[in-house]
Amino acid sequence: MTIGDKAMKTIIQYLAFGLLGLSLSAATIAGPEEDRKAFQNFYENRFPDTPVNDFQNGVYSILPSAREQWQSIEEFPPYELSVEAGEKLFHSKFVNGKSLADCFGSNGAVREKYPHWDKARGMVVTMERAINECRVANAERPYRLKKGKIADVSAYMSFNSRGQKVNVVIPSDDARALAAYEDGKEHFYTKRGQLNFACADCHMYTAGALYRADTTSPGFGHATSWPVFRSKWQEMGTLHRRFGGCHKNIRATPYKAQGSEYSNLEYFVSYMSNGLEFNGPAARK
């Protein structure tokens, strides 16, 4: 065997190892679509009696006793006043004579476009962020981020968007979008706070279990119904308000509403609910 043959043999061995490594990593690192299928399969197996489309109803999709109560609440929905207030705000003229309708169309039925990846800025844009950005672009002050007017406008826009399907896209031509998705995914599965809980602990592996007097909701469908009127709050609130509340419950310091942590988490959670209908605003316990 000549020196050239030896070198060739070594190169082939390295290439073989490299290919083996690549195939192994492809098998172990799943992409968003594989994640979503595994995620949805998990809930379908855990709650075989729940029709897939019903997961958008949160805990009421798995808890028949509470469902009846909830359905009677929905006859006179507590978020109705918020939708009306949101309608007024949506059509109120800014100082420059424009309104939110100039950004989102005549009735703001654009829920299906959010959250989305903004390639130019390299960030996730939620609907609440877009509402405030529209106001700021028209020389108005942004709303506070977790409740109040932002929730009212969001309620109006979500109400008009009912029936649209969650269709979050992670563009394949921008690695930053996948990184934002992965960040949200890591957040969902990572334990935090002194109580050492991950989102997945309550809303996946023990979904449907009792924590004190409350049953935890399945994570599949979590992103469809916002904003919500929570009986505990006695008012409307956004998804990021709820994220913060969950973190406080497990004694973790909440992140800022509309910051990258919660926006990326919303990106992931919404992607996991792709295919379900938006049905916000909603009433929740």
Partner 1 sequence: MKNGLRIIAVSVALCSSVAFGASNISAKKAIDGANAAYKQVAKETSYQWTVTASAIKAAKKAFDKGNFSEAEGLAAKAMKLVAATKLQAKIESETWQMRVPK
Catalytically active residues are 246
30 belongs to the binding site for partner 1 (CB under 8 A): yes
256-266: string of b/e by CB count within 10 Å (b at 16+)? ebbeebbbbbb
Q: Which listed range, 53-61, 112-120, 228-236, 250-258, lies at the site for partner 1 (CB under 8 A)? A: 250-258
178 belongs to the binding site for partner 1 (CB under 8 A): no
Measured distance CA(258)–CA(266) in Å, rounded: 10
If the CB atoms of residues 79 and 271 are measured against partner 1, the closer one turns out to be 271
Measured distance CA(274)–CA(165) in Å, rounded: 7
Residue of 142, 148, 193, 245 that binds partner 1 (CB under 8 A): 193
> Are 60 and 70 spatial neighbours (Cβ–Cβ below 8 Å)?
yes
Kindly tell me the burial class for residue 241, based on how many C-beta atoms sit within 10 Å of its own C-beta (0-12, 13-18, 19 or more): buried
Q: Work out how close the CB of 42 gets to partner 1 at its nearest, in angstroms, rounded to a whole number.
A: 5
261 belongs to the binding site for partner 1 (CB under 8 A): yes
106 belongs to the binding site for partner 1 (CB under 8 A): no
Measured distance CA(151)–CA(159) in Å, rounded: 12
Q: Work out how close the CB of 218 gets to partner 1 at its nearest, in angstroms, rounded to a whole number.
A: 13
If the CB atoms of residues 33 and 133 are measured against partner 1, the closer one turns out to be 33
Strands 228-230 and 282-284 turn out to be parallel
* Mask for 125-144, x = binds partner 1 (CB under 8 A): --------------------
177 belongs to the binding site for partner 1 (CB under 8 A): no
Other CB atoms within a 10 A radius of the CB of residue 273 amount to: 25
My answer on whether omega of the bond before 281 falls inside 30° of 0, hence cis, is yes
235 belongs to the binding site for partner 1 (CB under 8 A): no
- Binding positions for partner 1, rule: CB under 8 A: 30, 35, 38-39, 41-42, 185-186, 189-194, 196, 198, 200, 204-205, 248, 251-253, 261
